[in-house]
Amino acid sequence: MADETGLFVYGIVPSDVEPTPDAAGIGDPPGEVAAIRHGELAALVSEVGLAEPLGRPADLRAYQELLDGTAVVAPVLPVRFGTVVTGPDAVTELLGNHHDGFVAALDGFEDRVEYVVHGRYHEEPLVEELLAAAPQAAELARQVHGQPEAASRQQRLRLGEMLSQAVELRREAENRHVLDAVAPLVVESTARPPSNELDAVNLAFLVDSARVDEFVDALEEYAGRHRDLIRMRLLGPHAPYDFVAAHQLAG
C-alpha cells in the first residue's frame, strides 16, 4: 500500500500552458509538476504517495507557490487543496465532464489576479475612539478602572460586549470605505471573515493586471491616511482562490 501513488491536482489552466522546469510540487522531495491535457484545458498535477500525509505547512506553501506563480503568466482555476485522483484517466474525466464551464471560467480570469487587503486596528487608539463615541461604555470603563477584576466582573463583561459590538460595526464601515476607495479599479471583490477580533479590513479583490499599479497606489493612499489607527498589508498577486467555488473544482 505504501508504494501506491495518485495524482495531486493543483489547478486547471489553458491547454497551451507548460509547467516551468523548476516548478515544484508537494512532498519531500518535491514532486515533479506535469500537465495533463484534454481539449482546450490542462490540469497541473504531480505524483504523490497515497499513504503520504497531506496538509503540512510545506505542502500548502508548495500548492500556493505553484498556483500564484502560474496566475502571474496565465489564467488558472485553483482546485481545492488535497484533491488526489487515481491517475491520468481520472484527470481527463474531470476535464471532460466540466470542459465548457472551465473554459468559460478561465476566460473570466484572463489577465486578472487576486489581491488580499488585510488591516488590523492598533488597540489603544481604537478603544480611545470607541469610548469617546459611546458615553455608556466610557462610564463603564471609568467604573472598572483600578477595581479588582473579581469585584467588577459584571461591568467588565458588559464593557467587553459593548466594545466588541462597536468594533464589529466599525469593521463593516471600514470594509465599505476601502471598497469605495478602489471600486473603479477592480473587477470583483469579496469580504473574508475576520481572523482576529481587532481586524479592521479583510477583503479579496480581482484586479486586471493592467490596473494593478493604480490599485496599489489607491490602497497606499488609504493606508497612509489611516496609519495611526490601522496597520494594513497588501498580499498578492495570487491565484483567484476567493473567486472560484471550491465545490465546482473538487473533482
Q: Is 13 helix (H, G, I), strand (E, B) or coil?
A: strand
How does pLDDT run across 66-115, given as a tens digit for each residue? 999 999 999 999 999 999 999 999 999 999 999 999 999 999 999 999 99
Helix (H, G, I), strand (E, B) or coil at 147: coil
Residue-level pLDDT at 3: 64
Per-residue pLDDT tens over the stretch 122-161: 999 999 999 988 888 888 888 877 777 777 788 888 888 9
pTM of the model: 0.87
For residue 94, give the C-alpha cell: 474531470
Cα-Cα-Cα-Cα dihedral sign, residues 66, 72, 77, 80: positive
- Distance from C-alpha of 94 to C-alpha of 249, rounded to nearest angstrom: 9
Question: What is the predicted pLDDT for the residue at 28?
Answer: 81
Contact call for residues 196 and 120 (beta carbons, < 8 A):
yes
Distance of CA 102 to the CA centre of its chain: 21
Distance CA 218, CA 181 (A): 7
| pLDDT for 229 | 95
Measured in degrees and rounded to the nearest 5, phi and psi for residue 101 equal -65, -40
